[in-house]
Amino acid sequence: MLVSGRGSNLQSIIDAIAEGRLDASIAIVISNRVDAAALNRAKDAGIETACVLPASYPDRQACDQAMVDLLRPSDVELVCLAGYMQPVRKPMLAAFPNRILNIHPSLLPAFPGLHAQQQALDYGVKVAGATVHMVTAKIDAGPILAQAAVPVLPGDTVDTLSARILVEEHRIYPETISRVLADAGASR
């Protein structure tokens, strides 16, 4: 799993595995920031962690190649982005074709990129939500695997809307990972 921050989606996946709702194991959690709280959640769950810091590499390709080098030995079936706040580049896309998932806090294709919940409020939509999608070279634009909608309520702020969306994120991400792994297993 790739993370950058708080790690609540990572936690939902750790919990789903612990509770038997997701038959999987997390090989490694890689962060592009040393201060990501997600790293502590991983350590608390006994999961290997690593930091791949962009500043330590000559360019972005080399940085993503370093991630490939960390993931390859574990023979990972899926790479899941959970609040990973930087683009996925060619070395990763080439190493894991159609095997990288992301969760985004909007009903894509609406509101890709940063501050999706603020974009939704600014636009005045009445329904917002979360999307799990396959990662491609274009940010937040790959094939959609699952979505969940929530209402936007009068008086909503970014915080209240984000919290409502997050409940759905924590439900659909583990469910979708489970389905994708099952489908991959069935087609082998």
- Residues that are catalytic: 104
Report the nearest approach of ligand GRF to the CB of residue 139 (Å): 11
Question: Is 174 a binder of ligand GRF (CB under 6 A)?
Answer: no
Question: Is 147 a binder of ligand GRF (CB under 6 A)?
Answer: no
Strand order in the sheet with 2-3: 49-51, 29-31, 2-3, 79-82, 100-104, 127-134, 144-151
Residues 60-89 that bind ligand GRF (CB under 6 A): 82-83
Among 8, 49, 118, 136, binds ligand GRF (CB under 6 A): 8
- Pick 65 or 156: Cβ nearer ligand GRF: 156
Question: Is 105 a binder of ligand GRF (CB under 6 A)?
Answer: yes
Report the nearest approach of ligand GRF to the CB of residue 138 (Å): 16
Long-range contacts of 159-166 (CB under 8 A, 24+ apart): 161/117, 161/120, 161/121, 161/128, 162/105, 162/117, 164/128, 165/105, 165/117, 165/128, 165/129, 165/130, 166/8, 166/105, 166/130
Q: Which 3 state secondary structure label does DSSP give 161? A: helix
Question: Is 9 a binder of ligand GRF (CB under 6 A)?
Answer: yes
Question: Is 164 a binder of ligand GRF (CB under 6 A)?
Answer: no
Question: Is 103 a binder of ligand GRF (CB under 6 A)?
Answer: yes
Sign, CA torsion 100/104/168/10: positive
Site of interaction with ligand GRF (CB under 6 A) = 5-9, 38, 82-83, 103-105, 166, 169
